[in-house]
């Protein structure tokens, strides 16, 4: 019965030693992976630029720029990902379409005009209240 928990203890022990914590040569124990999308508007929706930025450990490694129409490696770490993503023509078309489906759509939805202020007659009761 005591040996029933042995595989679990070995697994936890193996996971407890994270490679890279001894010298920084492999993946560190704690790191950050993040994707960020940006829409940049110039002159309303006449000129729109969509950027998708990829970060690893607080450093930008890769970026999609709708003006260029492709992924660009910022660092050597992002070069392999940029090459792989640029070979996928369907994914590139999807990214290029984000200018219309994300940026221009949200610009129209979130831009609003304030309603005109109603002129109120002071000292009069409205017909609704009698």
pLDDT of residue 104: 87
What's the average model confidence in pLDDT over 18-36? Answer: 67
| Spatial distance between the Cα atoms of 61 and 44, rounded to a whole number of angstroms | 30
| pLDDT tens digits along 116-130 | 666 665 665 656 655
Burial of 105 (0-12, 13-18, 19+ CB in 10 A): middle
Domains for the chain: give ranges and CATH numbers.
33-124 (3.10.320.10)
At 90 the three-state DSSP class reads helix
- Picking from 19-28, 65-74, 97-106, which range would have the lowest pLDDT averaged per residue? 19-28
Element (H, E) at 51: strand 47-56
CA–CA–CA angle 106, 112, 118 (5° rounding): 165
Q: Running DSSP on this structure, what letter comes out for residue 15?
A: H
Going by C-alpha positions, the residue among 59, 96, 98, 62 that lies closest to residue 81 is: 62
pLDDT of residue 98: 93
Torsion of Cα atoms, 102 then 106 then 107 then 109, to 10°: 150
């Amino acid at each position: 019965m005591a040996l029933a928990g042995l595989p679990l203890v070995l697994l936890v022990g193996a996971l407890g030693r994270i490679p890279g914590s001894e010298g920084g040569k492999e993946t560190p124990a704690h790191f950050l992976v993040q994707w960020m999308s940006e829409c940049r508007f110039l002159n309303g929706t006449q000129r729109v630029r969509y950027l998708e930025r990829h970060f690893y450990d607080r450093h930008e490694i890769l970026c999609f720029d709708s003006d260029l129409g492709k992924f660009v490696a910022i660092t050597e770490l992002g070069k392999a990902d940029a090459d792989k993503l640029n070979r996928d023509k369907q994914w590139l078309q999807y990214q290029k379409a984000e200018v219309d489906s994300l940026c221009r759509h949200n610009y129209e939805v979130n831009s609003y005009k304030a309603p005109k202020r109603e002129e109120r007659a002071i000292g009069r009761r409205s017909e609704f209240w009698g």
